Amino acid sequence: MIDALWFLWAAACALLLAYLPGLALARLLGIGTRTAAAVAPAISAGLFGGGAIVAGLLEVRWNLLAALLTTVAGCLLALGPRLLLGALHRASRRRTGRSAPPPPGPAGPLPALLPSPRAALAVLVPALALAIAPILLSFGSPGQPLQRWDALFHLSALRWIRETGFATTLRFSALSTTDGSGGVYPAAFHDLAALVPLAPVPIVLNAATLALAVVPWIHGTMFLTRALWPRLSWAPLAAGAAAAIAPAAPLNEWIHLAAIPNLVASAFLPGVLGVVVLGFRALRLRLHDGSGPHRAAPPGTAVAPLVLAAAVGAAGLGLMHPNVFIAMCLLVAAATAVAVLEQRRRRPRLSRASALVLLLAVLPVGVIAVLPAAGVAGDFVGGLAISPPRALGELVSGLLTVWPMATGPLLWLLGYIGIWAQLRRGHVMLPVVLLVPLVLYMDAAIDSPLRLSALWYSGQDRISMLLTLVACLLVVPGLAHLERLTRRTEAPTRRLLRLLGLGVCVVVAAATIGPRLEYAERNLDLDRTDRPRYVDSAELEMLQEVSAQMDTDKLLLASPFSGGAHLYGMTGQKVRFPAAGMSPNPEDSARMDDVLAAPEDPAACRRLLEADIGYVYADRRPYNVGGEFTRLDQASPELGRVIGSTDHSMMIEIDCATE
């Protein structure tokens, strides 16, 4: 019960940290509350990620106080553009003799996202329950570690920031190196989540990830839908429900792969795109070539605040994970390319402005692709390569690599209808935008030599979230087209068709309950033997018991693929290898040799103690078998005193007096 309360506390704190700083800054820029709330999580990530970098350069600990000062500084900086825009507005009023209001829509209030609170209760609450409940039911406890490769790194990262205050993106990869020589690693998610106070670190990681993968994703998708179709009152609700039940949503990506910064950044992406849409619409009104009431509007009153908010939000995406920032640039580039072609004759000024936006969107893609840090993703080997027919089948059917189930084909079917409806009306923007994730997914799926998806680790998993976002948007024109068709029928038939369609959606969604539980248990059920495990339930219980009697000043030598490596994130016990994928240096290798020799060699035992190594963890069933860490898993109980054990693992306290 206490852990459940901690979980709720951590989730609530994570949402407040994600929304409040960004909301304050965006409001100070002069943006409406609904618009500011949509982009707030990405702006907060930009504030915290940038603040942590400055704190690192100044050698100041990153904590709540540093985050508060960063937020205050960001808000003060936001006042500058606000005051400048006000001065321009007053100058325009003096010059023209009258006050011209800014264009309606982009800078003013948008229509509400929900038609009514009852609609939200009737649609969104069941959709959220369907998405979240199977995952919560599969967790043995709120702080249970996820059994995926990346999860251990993120657990250790939160503990590391709490203990050391070191959180800068510029050197954050030091956590996963044995000599402390860190390089660039996007740390904005960790910078935010580590600020959650009081709650145990494992619970903070799970609660923050769940909250930030769900709320901004659905909220942002609804806002983006409202920006695209401001006159369809039901559109945000439909897109929000689709985003909740979609198979390849960020929440499911968490359990599937544990690429936490990537998936949280993807959840923040729709809100930023919504602000970009509003900014482009404001620009279009500003550059209107004919006569109209907007020509006299003071320059920048609508466009500049939106541009600034989108820029800070985009920076936040980049500091969480660069490939989400790149994805945003590519989606915006595709949309603006359509605008350039459509407006080149009718509105040449708008076409030229769109071309400039296109250039600004494409430029960062080329810059980031040639940076040395991009090689970390580009050199990655391990994505699941499949045959071209199978890859094409996944794309056509909607059964993507992340949790393929019945709601995928349903969303795709509505999406196909939406594409048809858009093309019939001469609207090609969304179909063209859809080509971006389609091409990236195919490139990753077949392991193409073009390596277009290299920045996404040549894996379909991360790209699936981009496809899902565009599919959720296409659901709206799809449903609108079906609604137009039903209007041709008599009223009783129309009501029957609507009920039939709703019933089909409910049945298909309910049919995914079993698969959702199965997919969740694959990486959450600690005692499944058909998939690799860091730790099983007996081992986790043993580790929690022995941690109370361990000296936290002594170093634990454990394979990063074992349950013992989790003790750093769980309790703060010093662990030599706290992240999977670490490579031991020559000194580490010598100490691991000493572990094998110590039962027969007193000098080897003394060298372990002189290196402050007080414990060795041996696990004959690690997450990953083989490699240099195998020596640790072969440790003998004669090395010292066994203070905890299971049928496949044991914690040994080194005792040279037992020679």
Pair type for strands 613-619 and 649-654: antiparallel
Closest CA to 373 of 184, 522, 508, 199: 184
Q: What is the pLDDT, as a whole number, of residue 37?
A: 95
Q: What is the pLDDT, as a whole number, of residue 372?
A: 56
Q: What is the pLDDT, as a whole number, of residue 380?
A: 53
640 contact partners, CB below 8 Å, separation of at least 6: 616, 652, 653, 654, 655, 656, 658
Residue 657 has pLDDT above 80, yes or no: no
- Write the DSSP assignment of 424-443 as a string of letters: HTT--HHHHHHHHHHHHHHH
Q: How many residues does the chain have?
A: 659
pTM of the model: 0.92
Place of tokens 């325009």: 92
As a whole number, mean pLDDT of residues 507-525 equals 93
The rounded distance, in Å, linking the Cα atoms of 323 and 377 is 9
Residue type, 495: R
Residue 628 has pLDDT above 90, yes or no: no
Strand order in the sheet with 640-645: 555-558, 613-619, 649-654, 640-645
**pLDDT-based confidence at residue 618 (cuts at 50, 70, 90):** very high
Paired residues of 653 in beta bridges: 615, 641
Residue 422 corresponds to which tokens in the numbers above?
A: 């858009």
The rounded distance, in Å, linking the Cα atoms of 447 and 463 is 14
Q: Within 258-401, where are the H helices?
A: 260-286, 303-320, 322-343, 348-370, 374-378, 388-397
Name the percent of the chain lying above pLDDT 70.
90
Lowest mean pLDDT among 240-244, 285-289, 413-417, 583-587: 285-289
Name the percent of the chain lying above pLDDT 90.
56
Pick the more confident residue, 359 or 214. 214
As a whole number, mean pLDDT of residues 254-277 equals 95
**pLDDT-based confidence at residue 339 (cuts at 50, 70, 90):** confident
Residue 173 has pLDDT above 60, yes or no: yes
Q: What is the pLDDT, as a whole number, of residue 56?
A: 92
Q: What is the pLDDT, as a whole number, of residue 107?
A: 42
Residue 595 has pLDDT above 80, yes or no: yes
3-class DSSP assignment, residue 53: helix
3-class DSSP assignment, residue 292: coil
Domain spans, the chain: 537-654
Which pairs from 17-21 meet CB under 8 Å and 24+ separation? 17/44, 17/48, 17/67, 17/192, 17/195, 17/196, 18/44, 18/45, 18/192, 18/212, 18/216, 19/44, 20/44, 21/47, 21/48, 21/67, 21/71, 21/74
Residue 590 has pLDDT above 60, yes or no: yes
Name the range with the highest mean pLDDT among 212-226, 339-353, 450-464, 575-589. 212-226
**pLDDT-based confidence at residue 85 (cuts at 50, 70, 90):** low
Q: What is the pLDDT, as a whole number, of residue 98?
A: 53
**pLDDT-based confidence at residue 365 (cuts at 50, 70, 90):** confident
The rounded distance, in Å, linking the Cα atoms of 58 and 276 is 34
Q: What is the pLDDT, as a whole number, of residue 276?
A: 93
**pLDDT-based confidence at residue 530 (cuts at 50, 70, 90):** confident
Tell me 561's DSSP state: T
Lowest mean pLDDT among 102-116, 476-490, 573-587: 102-116
Q: What is the pLDDT of residues 476-510, one digit of tens each?
A: 999 999 999 888 888 888 889 889 998 999 999 99
Q: What is the pLDDT, as a whole number, of residue 92?
A: 64
What distance lies between CA 303 and its chain's CA centroid? 28
The rounded distance, in Å, linking the Cα atoms of 215 and 11 is 11
Lowest mean pLDDT among 265-269, 411-415, 596-600: 596-600
Residue 556 has pLDDT above 60, yes or no: yes
Question: What's the whole-number average pLDDT of the chain?
Answer: 87
